[in-house]
Amino acid sequence: MTEDEINLQEMSDDEIYELMKEDLYDGYAEEIEEEVNEMLARGHEPYAILTNGLVAGMDIVGIDFRDGILFVPEVLMAAKAMKAGMGILRPLLAETGAPKIGTMVVGTVKGDIHDIGKNLTSMMMEGAGFEVIDLGINNSVENFMAAIEKHKPEILGMSALLTTTMPYMRVVIEALKTAGIRQDIIVMVGGAPLNEAFAEEIEADAYCRDAAVAVETAKRFMKIRRAQQKAL
């Protein structure tokens, strides 16, 4: 859909939110920017635009990606459109203090330079309302520990795509134990060669088959954690 065919000013709020979901799904970054700006001009709160337009759109992308209807290139396009919209909203959200679900430090482990899946996961987590500190690729245990010390995240995410690098995840988990902070942090791991059994073996909290599962899992863990905090 192009803006040549559509006049945003003539559309109702609900119609624009529907259009945002469609354009996000189709990866139309420029259109998303125009729609975000139109909703801001109409006085909508940045958080409402984020949740009703961008996150709602990304939820559909996540489901279709999980179900094999969308593939990596489409998801990367959608993520790019999401990033374009978030680029406008991010500073405004920081100002208005939109509720954040939680914080995740994430990185690909030492020796491994694959980052497409990790990037997708980071973007989807951001889209779902998490603050994501992305350490990039080839991260040593020292990098992970320094970032945890600095950002105090609720979640640590690790990615590995090689059978030779996946055991490094255990090294990081052992370092968390040695530092006495293993119980304070939710460890989620992902990457093509991993599976549930491996995650269990290295004592991670969860194996995430894909980015959509990562979002669902992180939300579930955060809900439990918040309930536990309330009960104290």
Instruction: Report d(CA 53, CA 6) in Å as an integer.
Output: 17
Regarding 63 and contact with ligand B1M (CB under 6 A), the answer is: no
Long-range contacts, 169-176 (Cβ 8 Å, 24+): 169/109, 169/202, 169/204, 170/202, 170/203, 171/141, 172/109, 172/141, 172/144, 172/145, 173/202, 173/203, 173/204, 175/141, 175/144, 175/145, 176/145, 176/148
Asked if 127 touches ligand B1M (CB under 6 A), the answer is: no
Residue of 1, 48, 113, 224 that binds ligand B1M (CB under 6 A)? 113
Q: Is 176 in the site for ligand B1M (CB under 6 A)?
A: no
Task: Tell me which of 120, 132, 147, 169 binds ligand B1M, using CB under 6 A.
Answer: 120
Q: Cα(131)–Cα(93) distance, rounded to whole angstroms?
A: 12
Asked if residue 162 binds ligand B1M (CB under 6 A), the reply is: yes
Task: Determine the interface stretch with ligand B1M among 28-36, 93-101, 174-182, 189-197 (rule: CB under 6 A).
Answer: 189-197
Should residue 80 be labelled a site residue for ligand B1M when binding is judged by CB under 6 A?
A: no
Least CB distance from residue 66 to ligand B1M, whole Å?
8
Of 173, 214, 215, 222, which lies in the binding site for ligand B1M, with binding defined by CB under 6 A? 214
Q: Which stretch binds ligand B1M (CB under 6 A): 7-15, 77-85, 145-153, 155-163?
A: 155-163
Which position's Cβ is nearest ligand B1M?
A: 117
Residues 115, 138: contact at Cβ < 8 Å? no
Q: Which stretch binds ligand B1M (CB under 6 A): 32-40, 126-134, 157-165, 171-179?
A: 157-165
At residue 188's C-alpha, the angle toward residues 181 and 54, to 5°, is 120
| Alpha-carbon span 224 to 228, nearest angstrom | 6
121 is a contact residue toward ligand B1M (CB under 6 A): yes
Is residue 69 near ligand B1M by the rule CB under 6 A? no
CB of 31 to ligand B1M, least distance (A): 25
Pairwise CA distance, residues 39 & 89, whole Å: 11
In this structure, the strands spanning 130-134 and 155-159 are unpaired
List strand residue ranges (DSSP E) for the chain, in order: 102-108, 130-134, 155-159, 186-190, 206-208
Number of residues forming the site for ligand B1M (CB under 6 A): 26
**Tokens, residue 161:** 């795509």
Segment lying near ligand B1M (by CB under 6 A), choices 20-28, 91-99, 191-199, 222-230: 191-199
The contact set with ligand B1M (CB under 6 A) reads 72, 106, 111-118, 120-121, 157, 159, 161-163, 188, 190-193, 208, 210-211, 214
